[in-house]
Amino acid sequence: MSVPDDAVVRPGARLDEALGRVLGERSAAPLAKLGLHTTGDLLRHYPRRYSEPGTLTDLASLTVGEHVTVMARVVQATVREMRSRGGAMLQAVVTDGTRNLHLTFFAKRRGALRVHEQRLVPGRTGMFTGVVSDYRGQRQLTHPDYQLIGVDADDEAAALVEVSRPIPIYPASAAAPTWRIQRCVRTVLDPLTDADVPDPLPEPVRARHRLVDLRQALADVHEPYDDTQWRRGQERLRFEEAFVLQAELARRRARTAHQEAVARPHVPGGLLDQFDERLPFTLTAGQREVGAQLAAELAGAHPMQRLLQGEVGSGKTVVALRAMLQVVDAGGQAALLAPTEVLAAQHARTLRSLLGDLAEGGFLGGAEHSTRVALLTGSQGAAARRENLLDAASGRAGIVVGTHALLSENVQFADLGLVVVDEQHRFGVEQRDTLRAKAAQTPHLLVMTATPIPRTVAMTVFGDLETSTLSEIPAGRSGVTTHVVPADNAAWVERTWKRVREEVDRGGRAYVVCARIDPDDEPTGARRVRDEDGADLLALDVDEGAPDEGADPGRGGPPPRRLRSVLEVADELRARPALAGVAVGELHGRMSPDEKDRALADFASGRVPVLVSTTVIEVGVDVPEATAMVVLDADRFGLSQLHQLRGRVGRGSAAGLCLLVASAPEGTPAATRLATLAETSDGFELAAVDLGLRREGDVLGAAQSGAASSLRLLRVTRDADVIAQARADARELVAQDPELEGWPALREAIDRQLAGEREEFLDRT
Ligand code: ADP
Ligand code: MG
């Protein structure tokens, strides 16, 4: 297992050694199942928590069927022959001081139990692990694996020290219980020198914050002598996570900031000015302010890199369009990237109608100075595609709208000056970069998101962008009233459909959102994640895709409720007396793009005023006449997602109504989410609540970024200070050494982190 002495060994090479070589295949196999393959993997597998050596586990908290590790004291151990069945049985009783737990071992012969009998001496304390069962009303562990405190040390002095140390509890499995992991970590860690463990944190940064080096930090968290020590190690490792991420973001930001971009200054009397003249409404103060900011940056010689976050309905599209027109006036083109075909088609329609004859370049009746809006989606017909490709490549289309089809190789631009990405959480950093690479010089970039992003998440995920915010909603909107409707209350449900009827009779339209397409489906339009309490939760996520195979059905808990589906609900509504004579349409991801367009157009025109849909309408769909939103199985959706859905109504002058039909028992996280939503209309406030309710991985996962998976100790929900500090330090370092050439260990850590992001990107395409 040792490296030949004469070889020139790269620093850090030992961290890449396969665990099988270091520990032997037998020990390594169960670790591989936990995703730990190299020495480095194992050392980065930090303890989840630490058990106080003196503190026993409260045995009242054990649930039958659960795999547990408990700390308890042995009370007695007795072996007896079993006359009826033959063989022998050892029964031990352990206690937390109040309650008892039985440990049971069976063997063919009494002698085989002697090892346990000799070790399970009354008075000794140990950790016991196994699946809790119930035998005649008594909780027990059968053949538990166990480790006695202080007994397995080499001598008495070591044993004494051992007994008083915090015990690391690792994320573990039955095949690799926590103490076996602990032993493996020691085997791997103890022989390593500082030189074997290159530190991604530059020494000056460490010194500034009095952080220990990496070798020490690993010893601190894996083999602490007291609580102060593991806290010290964690603090340093947490900072490292923030710093590595921020260093990469700072590097990207610096790279782009040094690049040249074509300046696209405002051209007086151009399309933008003409457009402003005919705008049917006045811009809000926020729209004007952000508009001025964008105008100034587009006129600059370095690429704009801006994130525009705006409350649902705050009017981001107009802001983006005005920026695009400035670029077109200056001779360039703008690309608008939308996450779904429905949204891309709608954007093209909206832009064309907002522009009127300004978008009829080359057509009879077009304005004198005019341009075209091209639309490129994955599924459009060959002829239409050819024409649009030509418009983009020739520059005849000043504005090119599309889905990720815009990323494909054969899409070319004459002079791409601005990339606008709508609803950012659906596009990875790499996709943005692909599109930007289509320009001769780095184009300006505007990323828009309707999901308000708390500052810390923005710093973590979009740290390479500057942020603008639109918090104001245009005047004259009456807002949306939200109610929770208990799904099992037939009278309330009936009333819901009556309300829909009333809205329709008044000239309004209603969306009815379901979690899946047909009755036999898995939920779609949402990734399944788990709530704090283990319940499934549909997270804010990608366009309708394949159901998540990773969902694990074999867990305890109540059987999942049957979710209502689009096809089933549409049929049911057509038969409802309350909706007699009202046309009911359907919209979901399995329809062709033409069918989808038609369904939306029929809905918008009022021919089909009730639309039963999946979450495909979640982002950005804009039908001003829509006044009612009914969400079925609302408890299965995330807070931000419901806020987005709700944002589809009340966009015109008529008040909106949002009815959340759910069965969420009081006190459950789902009930809390729904109640919060009913009380709060401010998206930023909701985002903050959401952040508190979600699990960490889901927060970053929802906001994309494979970087999330590299965060182990850092919590964007809690570590705002650490992130801000790391960001300041990282920017300073990058200012001195833009490519981090003096810090190879940091570069390597970044590359490892980015590898994950790239994989994630590949997974999705
Ligand atoms: P979002 O920010 O959610 O993308 P949109 O850009 O779709 O919002 O705008 C929502 C609606 O508000 C659109 O119908 C748009 O025409 C309208 N709108 C935008 N700005 C204003 C304004 N200043 N005054 C009135 N209506 C506006
Ligand atoms: Mg929008």
From residue 695, alpha-carbon distances to 251, 638, 711 in Å are 29, 12, 13
Instruction: Give the pLDDT band (50/70/90) at residue 707.
Output: very low
Q: Minimum mean pLDDT among 186-190, 516-520, 571-575: which range?
A: 516-520
Q: Is the pLDDT assigned to residue 226 strictly greater than 70?
A: yes
* Alpha carbon distance 413, 396 (integer Å): 10
Range among 116-125, 403-412, 544-553, 753-762 with highest mean pLDDT value: 116-125
Q: What angle do CA 140, 142, 147 make, to 5 degrees?
A: 95
Give the residue, 424 or 720, on which the prediction is more confident.
Answer: 720
Q: Which distant-in-sequence residues (6+ apart) come within 8 Å of 229 by Cβ?
A: 220
- Mean pLDDT, rounded, for 352-380: 81
Q: Give the pLDDT score at 527.
A: 38
Minimal-distance CA residue to ligand 1 atom 12: 315
Position in ligand 1 atom list of the atom nearest CA 651: 11
Q: How far is the CA of 643 from the centre of ligand 2 (A)?
A: 13
- DSSP strand E in 349-491: where? 372-376, 397-402, 416-421, 444-449, 466-470, 480-486
| DSSP type of residue 67 | E
Find out whether 728 and 721 touch, Cβ atoms under 8 Å: no
Q: Give the pLDDT score at 558.
A: 45
Q: How far is the CA of 23 from the centre of ligand 2 (A)?
A: 55
What count of Cα atoms within 13 Å lies in the side-chain half-sphere of residue 279? 17
What count of Cα atoms within 13 Å lies in the side-chain half-sphere of residue 723? 21
* Alpha carbon distance 377, 371 (integer Å): 20
Give the residue, 286 or 562, on which the prediction is more confident.
Answer: 286
Share of the chain above pLDDT 70, in %: 82
Give the residue, 510 or 5, on which the prediction is more confident.
Answer: 510
Instruction: Give the pLDDT band (50/70/90) at residue 630.
Output: very high
- Mean pLDDT, rounded, for 258-273: 93
Q: How far is the CA of 284 from the centre of ligand 2 (A)?
A: 16
Residue of 317, 401, 446 with the most ligand 1 atoms within 8 Å of its CB, for mutation: 317
Q: How far is the CA of 433 from the centre of ligand 1 (A)?
A: 28
Q: Give the pLDDT score at 764.
A: 34
* Alpha carbon distance 171, 43 (integer Å): 13
- Mean pLDDT, rounded, for 7-26: 84
Q: Give the pLDDT score at 532.
A: 31
Q: How far is the CA of 111 from the centre of ligand 2 (A)?
A: 74
Q: Give the pLDDT score at 541.
A: 29
- Give the residue from 580, 640, 590, 643 showing the smallest Cα distance to 614: 590
Q: What angle do CA 277, 283, 289 make, to 5 degrees?
A: 115
Find out whether 657 and 614 touch, Cβ atoms under 8 Å: no
What tokens appear for 32 in the block?
Answer: 């591989």
Element (H, E) at 619: none
- Mean pLDDT, rounded, for 374-390: 90
Cα torsion through 23, 26, 27, 33, rounded to 10:
120
Q: How far is the CA of 343 from the centre of ligand 2 (A)?
A: 9
The ligand minimizing its distance to the Cα of 308 is: 1
Q: Is the pLDDT assigned to residue 701 strictly greater than 90?
A: no
Give SS3 for 538. strand
Residue of 276, 279, 282, 318 with the most ligand 1 atoms within 8 Å of its CB, for mutation: 318
The ligand minimizing its distance to the Cα of 320 is: 1
Instruction: Give the pLDDT band (50/70/90) at residue 148.
Output: confident
Minimal-distance CA residue to ligand 1 atom 16: 315
The ligand minimizing its distance to the Cα of 287 is: 1
Position in ligand 1 atom list of the atom nearest CA 282: 23
Q: Give the pLDDT score at 710.
A: 61
* Alpha carbon distance 518, 460 (integer Å): 38
Give the residue, 693 or 558, on which the prediction is more confident.
Answer: 693
Range among 282-286, 688-692, 704-708 with highest mean pLDDT value: 282-286
Element (H, E) at 258: helix 227-258
Give SS3 for 613. strand
Q: Give the pLDDT score at 431.
A: 64
Q: Is the pLDDT assigned to residue 6 strictly greater than 50?
A: no
- Mean pLDDT, rounded, for 229-242: 95
Beta bridge partner(s), residue 538: 528, 637
* Alpha carbon distance 367, 271 (integer Å): 10
Which residue type, as a one-letter code, is found at position 312? V
Find out whether 209 and 239 touch, Cβ atoms under 8 Å: yes
Q: How far is the CA of 336 from the centre of ligand 1 (A)?
A: 17
- Mean pLDDT, rounded, for 716-728: 84
Q: Is the pLDDT assigned to residue 326 strictly greater than 70?
A: yes
Find out whether 259 and 302 touch, Cβ atoms under 8 Å: yes
Q: How far is the CA of 652 from the centre of ligand 1 (A)?
A: 9
Which residue type, as a one-letter code, is found at position 478? S
Element (H, E) at 575: helix 566-575
Minimal-distance CA residue to ligand 1 atom 26: 474
Q: Is the pLDDT assigned to residue 3 strictly greater than 60?
A: no
- Give the residue from 524, 554, 553, 560 showing the smallest Cα distance to 539: 524
Quick one: 73 exposed, middle or buried, by C-beta within 10 A (0-12, 13-18, 19+)?
middle
Find out whether 566 and 591 touch, Cβ atoms under 8 Å: no
Q: Give the pLDDT score at 70.
A: 85
Q: How far is the CA of 314 from the centre of ligand 1 (A)?
A: 6
Give the residue, 230 or 720, on which the prediction is more confident.
Answer: 230
Position in ligand 1 atom list of the atom nearest CA 283: 23
Q: How far is the CA of 311 from the centre of ligand 2 (A)?
A: 9
Radius of gyration of the CA atoms of the chain, in A: 31
Q: Give the pLDDT score at 78.
A: 92
pLDDT tens for 644-693 read: 889 888 877 788 999 999 988 888 878 888 998 899 888 777 877 776 66
From residue 401, alpha-carbon distances to 340, 341, 388 in Å are 11, 10, 10
Position in ligand 1 atom list of the atom nearest CA 624: 14
Range among 28-32, 278-282, 702-706 with highest mean pLDDT value: 28-32
What tokens appear for 759 in the block?
Answer: 């994989």
The ligand minimizing its distance to the Cα of 422 is: 2
Minimal-distance CA residue to ligand 1 atom 24: 474
Q: Which distant-in-sequence residues (6+ apart) come within 8 Å of 557 by Cβ?
A: 534, 535
* Alpha carbon distance 468, 139 (integer Å): 57
From residue 254, alpha-carbon distances to 250, 312, 728 in Å are 6, 31, 13
Q: Give the pLDDT score at 453.
A: 67
What mean pLDDT value characterizes the chain? 83
Instruction: Give the pLDDT band (50/70/90) at residue 553.
Output: very low
Task: Find the residues whose C-beta lies inside 6 A of ligand 1.
Answer: 281, 283-284, 287, 310, 312-318, 450, 474, 620, 622, 624, 651
Q: Is the pLDDT assigned to residue 35 strictly greater than 50?
A: yes
Minimal-distance CA residue to ligand 1 atom 23: 283
- Mean pLDDT, rounded, for 425-435: 62
Instruction: Give the pLDDT band (50/70/90) at residue 557.
Output: very low
Question: Chain centroid to CA 183: how far?
Answer: 34
Position in ligand 1 atom list of the atom nearest CA 354: 16
What tokens appear for 470 in the block?
Answer: 């639109």
Position in ligand 1 atom list of the atom nearest CA 422: 4
What's the sign of the alpha-carbon dihedral 453, 454, 457, 462?
A: positive
Residue of 289, 314, 424 with the most ligand 1 atoms within 8 Å of its CB, for mutation: 314
Q: How far is the CA of 619 from the centre of ligand 2 (A)?
A: 7
Position in ligand 1 atom list of the atom nearest CA 284: 23
Find out whether 75 and 95 touch, Cβ atoms under 8 Å: yes
Question: Chain centroid to CA 152: how far?
Answer: 43
The ligand minimizing its distance to the Cα of 336 is: 2
- Mean pLDDT, rounded, for 591-600: 86
- Mean pLDDT, rounded, for 142-164: 72
Q: Minimum mean pLDDT among 91-100, 425-434, 556-565, 702-711: which range?
A: 702-711
What tokens appear for 687 in the block?
Answer: 């985002």
Q: Which distant-in-sequence residues (6+ apart) come within 8 Å of 324 by Cβ?
A: 334, 336, 398, 399, 418, 420
Residue of 421, 622, 623, 684 with the most ligand 1 atoms within 8 Å of its CB, for mutation: 622
Give the residue, 366 or 250, on which the prediction is more confident.
Answer: 250
* Alpha carbon distance 728, 101 (integer Å): 52
Q: Minimum mean pLDDT among 266-280, 548-562, 628-642, 702-716: which range?
A: 548-562
pLDDT tens for 452-511 read: 666 666 666 666 778 888 878 787 777 889 999 999 999 999 999 999 999 999 999 999
Instruction: Give the pLDDT band (50/70/90) at residue 714.
Output: confident
Q: Is the pLDDT assigned to residue 550 strictly greater than 70?
A: no
Q: DSSP letter string over 461-488?
A: HSTTSEEEEE-PPPTT---EEEEEEETT
Q: Which distant-in-sequence residues (6+ apart) come within 8 Å of 280 by Cβ?
A: none
Write down the residue that tokens 């998206």 correspond to. Answer: 683
Minimal-distance CA residue to ligand 1 atom 18: 315
Q: How far is the CA of 701 from the centre of ligand 1 (A)?
A: 28
- Mean pLDDT, rounded, for 698-713: 50
Q: How far is the CA of 458 from the centre of ligand 2 (A)?
A: 19
What tokens appear for 309 in the block?
Answer: 């976050």
What tokens appear for 446 in the block?
Answer: 């505007």
What tokens appear for 720 in the block?
Answer: 């705002």
- Give the residue from 643, 654, 627 showing the smallest Cα distance to 678: 643
Q: How far is the CA of 649 from the centre of ligand 2 (A)?
A: 13
φ/ψ (deg, to 5) at 39: -55, -45
Complete domains list, the chain, with CATH: 25-35+41-193 (2.40.50.140), 271-299+313-449 (3.40.50.300), 480-680 (3.40.50.300)
Residue of 279, 281, 421 with the most ligand 1 atoms within 8 Å of its CB, for mutation: 281
Beta bridge partner(s), residue 140: 102, 133
